[in-house]
Structures are given as C-alpha cells and as structure tokens.
C-alpha cells in the first residue's frame, strides 16, 4: 500500500509540473541551477564593493552624524521656546498669598491676620510659555558650528580613505581569484604530464627496460601533484570567499571572474615625488591636519569663556483655580552674566592646549609613517617587477631543460630521477611566474594606495 501511495504522489507531481508549464506558471528552480552567474569584471567588482561593502555604509552614516551635529550646533543661534502646565495645591502662606495675586483673586479679606497666617488650601493651575534667546553666548555657538563643519570634512576624508582601501582590497581579492585559478591550471597540467610519465615508465618497466623503483618514483611524483591540485581547489574556494567578503556579499555567492594575469608594465613615479604626493593627497594625513585645526578651535572656545554672556528672556502665563479660568501675566528682560571667578576655566584651556599639542604630534608621527609606507611599497614593487623578469626567464629555461631530459630519458641516457627533478622545477617555475605576476599587480596597487592615488583603477584596465 505504501509503494502505491508513493507512485501516486510522484505521478501527481509530474502532472502538476506539466500543467504549470503549459499554462505559463514557472517551476520553482533554485537560482544557482537556473541562472549562470554574470561575468564579473574588475570595474564591476569595484562598483559593487563601493555600493555594498559595510565599511562604505559606515562612512555614509558618519557623514549623516556630522550633518546632524552641525544642525545641532546651529540651533544655538535660535530662540528656545518652552510650554509648561503646572498644578499645585497647598496652604503655605507665601504660596497662597502669591497664587492669589497670580490668579487676580486677592481681596481685602486676605489681609486678615488669620488668613495670612493660616490660609485655606488653594489649588493653582499655571499655564506658561517661556522664551529664551542668547544675544551673545561667549561665541560658544560659533565655536561649536566651526567644529561641526570640521567634523563634516573629517567624515568626507574618512569616506575617501575607506573608498581607496576598498578599491585596493578588491584588486587584491579579484586578482587573487585569478592567481588561484592559474595555480589550479598549473597543477592540472602537472598531473597530465605526470600521468603520461607514469604510463611511459610502466610500459618500459613491463618491457624490462627500467626497474620497479623508477615506476614507484614516477607514481609518487604523480601523487604529489594531485595533492597540489587538491590544495589549489581549496585556494580557489577561499579566494572567491575573500572576494565576496570585500564585495559585501555572502561568502558562498556564485561568481564568474573574467580576466587574466598577463604581462603588464606600470608607469612608476619617482619615490621622492610619491612621498610629496602622499603628503598632499592622503586622506588620513588630511584628517590629521583637520584634527589639529579642530583642537585649535577647542582652545579658542575655552578662551572665549572669559567673555560675558547676554540673554533675552520672556514668559507669558495664565494662573487659575481650574483650567478654564485664570489671570494672565507676562515678564520679559535682558540679563548679562560675567563669570568673575571660574575655577574650571583655566583647566579647560590647559586640557584643550594639551589636546592640540597631541594632535600636532600625531600628525608628525603620521607623516613619518606615510614616508615609510611609500618607501616600503615602492621597494616592494621594484622587487616584484624584477622577480617577474627573472621568473619569465626561468620558465623558459625550465621548459627547455625538461624537454631535453625527456628526450635523453627516452634514449636511455639519463635516469628517471632527473626527469622527476626537471618536472618539479618546471612546475615550480610556472607557479613562481603566476605568483610574481600577482605580486607585480598588487604591489603597484599598494604604491598607489600609499601615495593616496587609489582614486580609480584605470592603470589596471589599460
């Protein structure tokens, strides 16, 4: 009975699927099986990262915070209007006397000694509007507005710095997938080459031309190349996960990276010019200068506390025994406040000056670090470029050496050990060439990043 039910369910599923297709309802097929991933170029990868990377969203939120801080600072130039509704009840003589006056209900009977000393409890509803406007607030609002504008500039510089870093990370991850595929291809070619050698050695062993140790050595070599292939497949998966992370996508998102690690020559700027450009264009150095200016403004704001403060105030109110009745009154005036003695004022100035000095020292330290970053990146690129030239020469030599030894082995003029050694050298030279090309690309990107020039990826597209 159970098998009949299972068959019926299968038939119903097949019929339902056919009907859905007939009337135009698509079948539910997973996206990974229904669609091939869109080819991903370096340009599209950078655009995607600048849109989805969480670090970019963090900087955008930082700018929104800076904008809100500026609006908050500017609020000091506007009046403050408050509304209040207060209910009180009591028989305190002073309270009752004043409330009766506020309510406009004070009469001759309230001058009696008994009414003054022991009045009856009184309820008072007080509706009030209070206005306060700073006419001169020791320039504290001006200080806060100036600092908020500097905060906006810092947020913009932070965004520019993160964008350059994201471009660099995309280049490194994008070409990382290409180098992983290239290493996998080298491993697959090595396996084919080793399989051919194993077959040829086995045939010669069966013919009595070589000993069994030669066949075993060839098989061991094949096993090592297969292990390299396994590692290379794992490196491909890791490279794609790293790329998806930089792009702000789930690590298992299917991607199809296109491109190749070809020979490319980058135009290099002299090292001294790179240092000069870095101190002009690095967003983090500009932020440090901005921080020094912000602390200078903090010192100026602390000194401005020695100035007087002038405020305009006014209020309008209604007082009554209930909410529906009452007597109105108003007051307004101007107040001048001058702090003759403020023990904390000098401490605030000292603190602001210390913060300014610290910001200046941090800027100097950062300048030294930037010079070091540029020198390091420059020398690493020079080394990578020279290694690439050597790797290109070695692969030609390794290929020719392998061909000669293979021919000598077929003629019985050398041992299988030499053949295996030549194979290993050839595979190593191919892997070194791939790694050298990758280092050449990434080291140049690092030069641009260290000099504050990673504003686009044009050098990698030409």
Q: pLDDT by residue (tens digit) across 320-362? A: 888 887 888 999 999 999 999 998 999 999 999 999 999 999 9
H or E stretch covering 368: helix 343-410
Q: pLDDT by residue (tens digit) across 6-39? A: 434 443 343 344 433 433 433 333 434 445 777 8
Q: Are 161 and 448 in contact (CB under 8 A)?
A: no
The tokens describing 312, both together, are 């305009």
Angle at 410 between CA 404 and CA 415, to 5 degrees: 80
H or E stretch covering 127: strand 122-137
Given this model, what pLDDT does residue 418 score? 84
Given this model, what pLDDT does residue 117 score? 84
Q: Are 328 and 101 in contact (CB under 8 A)?
A: no
Dihedral sign (CA 130, 134, 140, 146): positive
Q: pLDDT by residue (tens digit) across 248-304? A: 999 999 988 988 888 888 999 999 999 999 999 999 999 999 999 999 999 999 999
Cα 314 from Cα 329, distance rounded (Å): 11
Q: pLDDT by residue (tens digit) across 55-70? A: 999 999 999 999 999 9
Nearest to 424 by CA among 404, 402, 407: 402
Arithmetic mean of pLDDT over the chain? 87
In this structure, are strands 327-337 and 309-320 parallel, antiparallel, or unpaired?
Answer: antiparallel
Q: List % helix, strand, coil for the chain (3-state, nearest 5).
A: 70, 10, 20
Instruction: Name the percent of the chain lying above pLDDT 70.
Output: 92
62 DSSP 8-state letter:
H
Within 8 A by CB and 6+ apart from 293, the residues are 150
Between 281 and 405, name the one with better pLDDT. Answer: 281
The mean per-residue pLDDT over the stretch 100-107 comes to 84
pTM: 0.81
Given this model, what pLDDT does residue 370 score? 96
Nearest to 229 by CA among 184, 176, 169, 175: 184
pLDDT at 135 over 90: yes
> Nearest 5°: phi and psi at 423?
-60, -45
Q: Are 383 and 447 in contact (CB under 8 A)?
A: no
Q: 308: how many CB neighbours lie within 10 A of its CB? A: 11
108 falls in which pLDDT band (50, 70, 90)?
A: confident
Given this model, what pLDDT does residue 198 score? 85
Given this model, what pLDDT does residue 194 score? 84
Given this model, what pLDDT does residue 35 score? 57
């Amino acid at each position: 009975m159970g098998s009949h039910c299972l068959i019926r369910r299968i038939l119903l599923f097949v019929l339902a699927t056919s009907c859905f297709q007939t009337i135009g309802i698509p079948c539910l097929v997973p996206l990974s099986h229904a669609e091939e991933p869109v080819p991903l170029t370096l340009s599209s990868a950078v655009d995607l990262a600048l849109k989805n990377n969480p670090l970019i969203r963090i900087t955008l939120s930082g700018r929104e915070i800076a904008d809100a801080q500026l609006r908050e600072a500017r609020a000091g130039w506007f009046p403050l209007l408050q509304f209040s509704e207060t209910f009180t009840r009591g028989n305190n003589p002073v309270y009752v006397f004043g409330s009766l006056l506020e309510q406009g209900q004070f009469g001759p009977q309230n001058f009696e000694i008994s009414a003054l000393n022991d009045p009856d409890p009184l309820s008072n509803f007080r509706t009030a509007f209070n206005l306060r406007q700073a006419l001169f607030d020791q320039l504290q609002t001006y200080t806060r507005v100036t600092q908020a504008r500097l905060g906006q500039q810092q947020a913009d510089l932070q965004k520019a710095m993160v964008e350059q870093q994201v471009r660099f990370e995309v280049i490194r991850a994008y070409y990382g997938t290409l180098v992983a595929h290239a290493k996998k291809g080298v491993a697959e070619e090595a396996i084919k080459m080793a399989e051919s050698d194993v077959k040829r050695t086995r045939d010669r062993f069966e013919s009595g031309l070589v000993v069994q140790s030669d066949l075993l050595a060839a098989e061991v070599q094949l096993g090592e190349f297969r292990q390299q292939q396994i590692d290379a497949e794992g490196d491909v998966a890791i490279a794609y996960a790293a790329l998806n992370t930089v792009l702000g996508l789930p690590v298992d998102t299917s991607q199809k990276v296109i491109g190749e690690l070809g020979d490319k020559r980058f135009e290099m700027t002299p090292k001294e010019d790179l240092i000069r450009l870095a101190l002009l264009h690095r967003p983090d150095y500009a932020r440090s200068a901005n921080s020094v200016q912000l602390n200078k403004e903090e010192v100026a704001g602390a000194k401005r506390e020695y100035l007087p403060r002038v405020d305009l105030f006014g209020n309008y109110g209604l007082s009554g025994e209930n909410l529906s009745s009452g007597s109105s009154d108003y007051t307004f005036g101007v107040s001048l406040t001058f702090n003759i003695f403020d023990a904390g004022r000098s401490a605030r100035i000292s603190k602001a000056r210390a913060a300014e000095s610290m910001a200046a020292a941090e800027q100097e330290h950062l300048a030294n670090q930037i010079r070091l970053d540029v020198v390091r990146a420059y020398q690493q690129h020079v080394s990578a470029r020279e290694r690439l030239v050597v790797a290109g020469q070695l692969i030609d030599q390794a290929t020719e050496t392998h061909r000669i030894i293979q021919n000598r082995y077929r003629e019985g003029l050398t041992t299988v050990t030499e053949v295996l050694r030549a194979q290993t050298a050839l595979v190593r030279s191919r892997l070194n060439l791939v790694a050298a090309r990758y280092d050449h690309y990434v080291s140049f990107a690092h030069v641009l990043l260290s000099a504050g020039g990673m504003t686009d990826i044009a050098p990698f597209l030409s």
